[in-house]
């Protein structure tokens, strides 16, 4: 039986929901700071940022949609069933209650409210704000079937209206000209922008959001694998196109702002200064509305995705129970403060991102090597051997007390022999070598893996 033609409005609605889940406060504060620092190197920095902040998330959504996987665990199990469980658990905890979800509460507080309250009482106010924030998130996350309506029809359009008020004014009345680039943007604008895109966590989120998108597509009456894949990439193109457009405008706003407002430590402060420059005291209210809406819709999307995953993994615990648990854990961690969350998150991102990138690329290229498990396993293993030390190096930079002499020796060897290691891309060559080894690995060599899979399943 032929399925009815899908109207364009369905793709727009799903794409708007997807954009809303992705585009949180981090997606606002990182590109505007990139613009300030990149200055006249605006274009290479922006293009590098778009590769990881737009390209990789889109490929991640495609990997889930085109592979026919039921979710991240199913997809990651192509490496090994045990890897599928471990990697998906770590990724969901990272973009969920340990880092990304708490950040959705701390960022709007730090940017929109903290500058206007007594610093001695900031902890109390953060507790009150984050409690109210997660109470709202809990209410809207209880019914996953309605997430597309909440985010796609209401929260995202409201967010875009307020955001475009600020962006529109900055385009009509530019703050100034581009200044000279600063720091690593002087000579490594593209690579620095590329790594800055990691901070959005969107490539990781794409692997988690994929199942939410697929479920939303199915609720629209789209059920065949071919039509689901088609709806996934069409909705993804709409969402990523909208994100790319907004990223470009926000980065431009940052690049043109230095002469008018000066430089600041983070993108939240830059946004606040720009809003105040254009709208005076009303700018603070406008910015607070923008930031709260951005974080609220992203938090709902993350809570929904994580709760569905954990309920699927531990079916004896209800979806609604996981919503409550995740909100409580996220509320607790949020009250440790934004700086502490970021300090611990960056090392985990440096470790996870290369693994996620390789998993996405292998999935999309899998028809070329017949989905051979040895290609997945060898390439991911070689990537892990480098990304682990990327995460370790960043952790030591933040917390020198955890330094281990053996790990430092391995890191020194990597710096001497691995191309691109110094700029954080040393995992690329090992990943390619692993894929090549996997291709030539004899089929009989997989018997050990099959035995271990049986052991895991039992």
Model pLDDT for residues 22-37, shown as the tens digit of each residue: 888 779 888 999 999 9
Q: Which residue has the higher pLDDT, 18 or 76?
A: 76
Nearest to 327 by CA among 352, 302, 350, 308: 302
Closest Cα partner for 23 from 191, 169, 205?
205
Query: What's the average model confidence in pLDDT over 55-67?
Result: 89
407 and 428 in a single domain? The answer is yes
Please state, rounded to an integer, the average pLDDT across all residues of the chain. Answer: 89
Q: Is residue 405 part of a domain?
A: yes
Please, which residues have CB within 8 angstroms of residue 93's CB and are 6 or more apart in sequence?
Answer: none
The answer on pLDDT for 458 being more than 50 is no
pLDDT of residue 342: 80
**Closest alpha carbon to 88 in 172, 237, 211:** 211
| Per-residue pLDDT reduced to its tens digit, 114-163 | 878 888 898 999 999 999 999 999 999 998 778 767 888 888 899 999 99
Give the domain CATH number at 133: 1.20.1740.10
Rounded to whole angstroms, how far apart are CA atoms 154 and 148?
Answer: 9
The 3-state DSSP class for residue 441 equals coil
- According to DSSP, residue 187 is labeled T
Per-residue confidence (pLDDT) for residue 445, from 0 to 100: 54
pLDDT at 3: 56
Residue 447 has pLDDT above 90, yes or no: no
120 lies in the same domain as 264: yes
Residues 130 and 109: beta-carbon distance below 8 Å = yes
Q: What is the pLDDT of residue 5?
A: 73
**How many Å is the maximal CA-CA distance in the chain?**
71
Residues 81 and 126 in one domain: yes
Domain assignment present for 1: no
Total domains present in the chain: 2
- pLDDT surpassing 60 at residue 352: yes
Residue 4 binned pLDDT confidence (cut-offs 50, 70, 90): low
pLDDT at 276 over 70: yes
Give residue 454's pLDDT.
43
**Tens-digit pLDDT profile for residues 242-269:** 999 999 999 999 999 999 999 888 887 8
- First-to-final CA distance of the chain: 40
Is residue 30 located within the same domain as residue 82? Answer: yes
Q: What is the pLDDT of residue 221?
A: 83
Tell me, yes or no, whether 398 lies in a domain.
yes
pLDDT confidence tier of residue 223, bands split at 50, 70 and 90 = confident
Contact 73, 313 (CB under 8 A): yes
Q: Which domain holds residue 406?
A: 344-458
On whether residue 3 sits in a domain, the answer given is: no
- What pLDDT band is residue 450 in, cutting at 50, 70 and 90? very low
The last residue of a domain, from among 304, 335, 366: 335
Of 301, 335, 369, the position where a domain reaches its end is: 335
- Cα angle 370, 376, 378 (rounded to 5 degrees) comes to 125
Pair 326, 401 in one domain: no
Is 50 exceeded by the pLDDT of residue 457? no
Q: Of 307, 335, 363, at which residue does a domain stop? A: 335
Residues 317 and 377 in one domain: no
For 421-433, the pLDDT digits (tens) are 988 899 999 999 9
- Whether residue 226 is contained in a domain is answered as yes
Task: Kindly state the average pLDDT of the residues 7-11.
Answer: 85
State the pLDDT confidence band at 219, using cuts at 50, 70 and 90: confident
Rounded Cα gap, residues 329 and 331, in angstroms: 5
């Amino acid at each position: 039986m032929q399925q009815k033609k899908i109207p364009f409005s369905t793709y727009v609605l799903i794409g708007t929901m997807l954009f809303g889940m992705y585009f949180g406060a981090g997606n606002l504060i990182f590109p505007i700071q990139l613009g300030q620092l990149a200055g006249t190197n605006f274009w290479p920095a922006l293009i590098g940022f778009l590769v990881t902040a737009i390209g990789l998330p889109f490929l991640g959504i495609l990997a889930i949609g085109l592979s026919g996987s039921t979710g991240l665990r199913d997809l990651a199990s192509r490496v090994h069933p045990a890897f599928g469980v471990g990697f998906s658990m770590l990724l969901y905890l990272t973009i969920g209650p340990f880092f990304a979800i708490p950040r959705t509460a701390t960022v709007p507080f730090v940017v929109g409210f903290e500058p206007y309250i007594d610093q001695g009482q900031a902890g109390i106010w953060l507790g009150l704000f984050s409690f109210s924030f997660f109470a709202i998130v809990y209410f809207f996350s209880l019914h996953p079937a309605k997430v597309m309506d909440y985010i796609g029809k209401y929260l995202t359009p409201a967010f875009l209206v307020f955001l475009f008020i600020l962006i529109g004014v900055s385009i009509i009345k530019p703050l100034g000209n581009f200044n000279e680039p600063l720091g690593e943007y002087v000579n490594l604008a593209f690579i620095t922008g590329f790594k800055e895109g990691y901070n959005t966590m969107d490539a990781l989120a794409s692997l988690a959001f994929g199942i939410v998108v697929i479920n939303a597509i199915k609720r629209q009456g789209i059920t065949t694998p071919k039509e689901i894949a088609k709806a996934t990439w069409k909705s993804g193109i709409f969402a990523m196109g909208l994100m790319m457009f907004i990223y470009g405008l926000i980065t431009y706003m940052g690049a043109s702002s230095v002469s008018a407002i000066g430089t600041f430590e983070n993108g939240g402060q830059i946004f606040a200064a720009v809003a105040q420059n254009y709208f005076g005291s009303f700018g603070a209210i406008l910015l607070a509305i923008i930031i709260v809406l951005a974080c609220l819709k992203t938090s709902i999307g993350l809570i929904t995705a994580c709760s569905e995953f954990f309920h699927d993994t531990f079916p004896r615990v209800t979806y609604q129970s996981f919503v409550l648990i995740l909100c409580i854990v996220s509320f607790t961690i949020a009250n440790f403060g934004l700086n502490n969350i970021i300090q611990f998150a960056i090392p985990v991102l440096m470790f996870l991102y290369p693994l996620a990138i390789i998993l996405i690329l292998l999935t999309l290229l899998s028809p070329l090597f017949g989905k051979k498990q040895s290609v997945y396993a060898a390439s991911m293993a070689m990537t892990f051997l480098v990304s682990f030390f990327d995460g370790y190096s960043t952790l030591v930079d933040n917390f020198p007390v955890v330094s281990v002499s053996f790990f430092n020796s391995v890191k020194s060897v990597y710096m001497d022999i691995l191309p691109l290691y110094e700029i954080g891309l040393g995992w690329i060559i090992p990943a390619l070598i692993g894929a090549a080894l996997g291709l030539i690995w004899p089929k009989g060599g997989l018997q050990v893996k099959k035995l271990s899979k049986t052991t895991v399943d039992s």
